[in-house]
Structure 1
């Protein structure tokens, strides 16, 4: 890595803005983008570091809207299982997990788009399941924010509560997996040159995303979140299917 990839940084900023608007963080876009520039293990490491800064920005800008109950029920399982997923990331076949993730996201986002009046109450069981799945998937494939976003969208939270609560949970998840990825050797010296730029992008992207959100109604916010998750699911299915095909036909 002899020079800074400017295009990568521009795309990272776009991912951060969209991730803020969608309410589930930028990793669902950032991970596929970073995959074009780095090997998968390096992607996991740089994503975790980027998100620690990004989520601190969201917490600062949206701090008035926090649901402490969901932080407990979603956040604690997410932090515990991101550690499990991070450790297992060395041993699991990521392509099949990505394919499963894509199918899952498409199915559930379509369910909530079609069934517009379907609302899941913020019960302990549903929150714990969503937190567990999002944490584990984040540890293994680098992004679990869409699952957490889907869970929280189902709770029909007000947008500031949605983003602030999601950011606090995500901060705990990313801080935990940063330690695991460092121990796994995923955070390499050559990527450290990107960190100052990603710090600026995390702050700027969150701020621009908030400006956009101020002009979006609550109903449209939920539609945008579900629509973005649907697109992410479709792209994930296509990417994982192509990766699997390439692996089996080498």
Structure 2
């Protein structure tokens, strides 16, 4: 089925990469729902992990001037640990129920930040650990945890470049870890490996276009775009499970 619709799949994947770059939390939140139309869920997990490794390397190259190393450790370490746990648990949980729960969580949290503009999540080690844990579990089980990571990173009030680069480094560690787990789970289909070089090119093109958009918007606009995209992801997750 995928080979028949490959041009459409590539175009949608580029759009997912652009939105993921502008949002600062990676393309998987958009890529996973797109790929689900063409592939079974476990194959989607496997191809997403491989694709995201190259995608995040591209983002780090484009936004290398900004890195928040303390946040990388505080949020990234628990994210890597719990994505491994989530990857193993993905064999036993119903992804439909988990996707529904994730959607409700994202909608409520993003609406809270959009409506109550003075609402502040303190940039503490505890909050970074909780955000890393939840995003890692979500990435391992559902294939995407970038929206949760994005909400957590928003608390640290980083500029656009730092936000995206820091998120990409954390995501790289998460994706590398879950790729190994998914391989042993049997999620890596050899007949789909031809997509990897295609998706590498998609990642480069989408990230470059996204960077051009980011250069033309303000810091405050960037924050609202992140929250609105997360709201959209949450609603899409809920609707897809109904």
Same fold (TM over 0.5): yes
Q: Alpha carbons of 1:132 and 1:200: their partners in 2 closer, same or farther (altered >3 Å)?
A: same
| 1:2 Cα deviation after fit | 7.7
Matched, 1:102 2:103: yes
For 1:110-189, what aligned pairs fall within 5 Å after superposition? Answer: 110-189=111-190
Cα contact 1:102–1:235 (8 A) shared by 2: yes
Question: Aligned to 2:18, what secondary structure does the other structure show?
Answer: helix
Q: Distance in 2 between matches of 1:73 and 1:57?
A: 23
Matched, 1:206 2:169: no
Unaligned runs of 5+ in 2: none
Counterpart of 1:41 in structure 2 is: 42
Counterpart of 1:245 in structure 2 is: none
For 1:18-37, what aligned pairs fall within 5 Å after superposition? Answer: 18-37=19-38
Q: Deviations over 1:4-24 (max 9, x none)?
A: 611111100000001000101
Counterpart of 1:75 in structure 2 is: 76
Question: Aligned to 1:66, what secondary structure does the other structure show?
Answer: coil
- Point out the more displaced range, 80-89 or 111-120: 111-120
Q: Distance in 2 between matches of 1:103 and 1:12?
A: 25
Counterpart of 1:3 in structure 2 is: 3
Counterpart of 1:247 in structure 2 is: none
| RMSD of equivalent CA atoms | 1.1
Counterpart of 1:228 in structure 2 is: 229
| 1:110 Cα deviation after fit | 0.6
TM-score, with structure 1 as normaliser: 0.94
Q: Deviations over 1:32-66 (max 9, x none)?
A: 00000000000000100110000000111111111
Cα contact 2:2–2:38 (8 A) shared by 1: no
Matched, 1:194 2:211: no
